[in-house]
Amino acid sequence: MSENKHEITDVVIIGGGAAGLSAGKITAKHGLSTVILERDSRMGGILNQCIHNGFGVHHFKEELTGPEYAERVYHEALAAGCAMYTGTTVMDVSGKRLKRVLCCSPEHGVREFNARAVVLAMGSRERNRGNIAIAGARPAGVFTAGTAQRLMNINGFVPGSEAVIIGSGDIGLIMARRLSWAGVKVNAVIEIMPYAAGLPRNIAQCLEDFDIPLHLSCQTLRINGRDRVESVDVAPLENGRVCLEKTFNISCDTILMSVGLIPENELSQKAGARLNPLTGGPVVDSRMMTSAEGVFACGNVLHIHDLVDYVSSEAEMVAEKIRLFLGGDVKAPEIKTVPGGNIRYVIPGGFEPGTDSTFYMRPLAVMDKARMNIYQDGRLIYDHPVKYVKPAEMLKVHLSPDFDDALPSGGDLKFSLKAE
């Protein structure tokens, strides 16, 4: 990096994980000067600690480990001409037309970038014990699943000898297998919902293959132990009620929390982006632009994805929108997109007729067979079968440029799922 503490560039991307690297690859390919800022010591984000395979099947058409996927997108961004800075923490994003990105690093001190566009790609953080309010003292041995994954795969530490995993998110399921490989006995996975939160392949490969019990519709009431975890008290739910009389105890010295992710959006708010209460991420329009002009978002900072392949695809779409925005493309009037029956949210929040558009959404119910419907002013204008629906798996809908021929009016597009 040069000694210049104030640098002007076309695009600054905050976050060097799959989203940031994938977006940077495209903006740089289009000749836009692109800077990627990553607070960790290396590019790749959370992928670096995910040593299991299963990544890249959709995006690269081959099965990769997390580090392999990270290396692939890193070299693509590097070859495209992105400038990348690790160990660099962004402290503030401000400004209107020209965005001021203030950052610091041990090597270069405080530095300021002035960019025509900013991409928010900071990812997400894990929900912890405080988010779900489990009773008990604060003994040693309670970790989030991602923290335990880093301890084992990066630092080489085994967190305990006997574990219980609270929540059936994918990271927790994968860590059940990882702990078993390391000789840790996993006594149970506890899930409050009547269905598992993780992908079906992870249920099969990480729990069933290792004979690890999965307790559905159960609530963890208390963590026992003062200096170190000793056990957990668990009770089943029946008709939405905790059956205290059926409480049972599971011994363990280690607890992993796998109870969901939260978009990392402190910087988004500093940049002036309005947040969506349904996703925890910024509200974005058809251009994937937030309510702050020139600030875009993609990846888990926008909404939580189940596959990194979708993160990369979404980030590349954002990069194309940035190219049009910086090229002076005049935004046409857009149609608002809204969630309907059995849909939690729809991203992006708008559809621009005549454009190639992809929408991401999260279902609310489990269905063996369903139909994806889109309505406008009560009229059905899109009907497509969906084989299997589960809240753990994100849905995508692609609308071609000629889709607007079917639009009867300029009313909102309502996306709905209906069981067959």
At 4 the pLDDT is 63
Same domain, residue pair 122 and 13: yes
Same domain, 156 and 202: yes
Which domain CATH number covers 151?
Answer: 3.50.50.60
- Comparing 3-12, 230-239, 254-263, which segment has the lowest mean pLDDT? 3-12
> pLDDT band at residue 1, thresholds of 50, 70 and 90?
very low
Angle between helices 18-29 and 66-80 (to 10 degrees): 20
Q: Both 103 and 11 in a single domain?
A: yes
Say how many C-beta atoms besides its own lie within 10 A of residue 157's C-beta.
11
Number of structural domains found in the chain = 3
Domain boundary among 293, 314, 331: 331
Q: What is the pTM of this model?
A: 0.93
Domain that holds residue 116: 1-126+260-331
pLDDT at 371 over 50: yes
pLDDT value of position 188: 98
Residue 200's pLDDT is 87
Q: Are 318 and 23 in contact (CB under 8 A)?
A: yes
- Give the pLDDT mean for 399-405: 81
- Does the pLDDT of residue 392 top 90, yes or no? no
Last residue of a domain, one of 210, 237, 253: 253
**Measured distance CA(227)–CA(141) in Å, rounded:** 9
Which CATH number do you get for residue 373?
A: 2.60.40
Mean pLDDT of 276-301: 96
Q: What is the pLDDT of residue 3?
A: 54
**Lowest model confidence (mean pLDDT) among 81-90, 194-203, 229-238, 267-276:** 194-203
Identify the pLDDT of residue 2.
46
For 404-419, write each residue's pLDDT tens digit.
Answer: 777 777 789 999 999 9
Whether residues 232 and 272 share a domain: the answer is no
In this predicted structure, the answer to whether residue 219 has a pLDDT above a threshold of 80 is: yes
Proportion of the chain above pLDDT 90, given as a percent: 85
CA distance 322 to 55: 26
Q: Per-residue pLDDT tens for 116-160?
A: 999 999 999 999 888 888 999 999 999 999 999 999 999 999 999
171 and 200 in a common domain: yes
Examine the domain organization and report whether 199 and 234 are in the same domain: yes
Is the same domain home to 282 and 198? no
The answer to whether residues 63 and 113 belong to one domain is: yes
Report the chain's mean pLDDT, rounded to a whole number: 94
Based on the fold, state whether residues 232 and 138 are members of the same structural domain: yes
- Do 112 and 182 lie in one domain? The reply is no
Averaged pLDDT for residues 77-88: 97
Residues 114 and 21 in one domain: yes
Tell me the per-residue pLDDT of 60-77, one tens digit each, with 9 for 90 and over. Answer: 999 999 999 999 999 999
* Average pLDDT of the segment spanning 105-122: 95
Q: Which of 282, 310, 331 delimits the end of a domain?
A: 331
Q: What percent of the chain has pLDDT over 70?
A: 99
Residues 106 and 174 in one domain: no
Rounded distance between C-alpha atoms, residue 348 and residue 413, angstroms? 12
Pairing of strands 261-263, 124-126: antiparallel
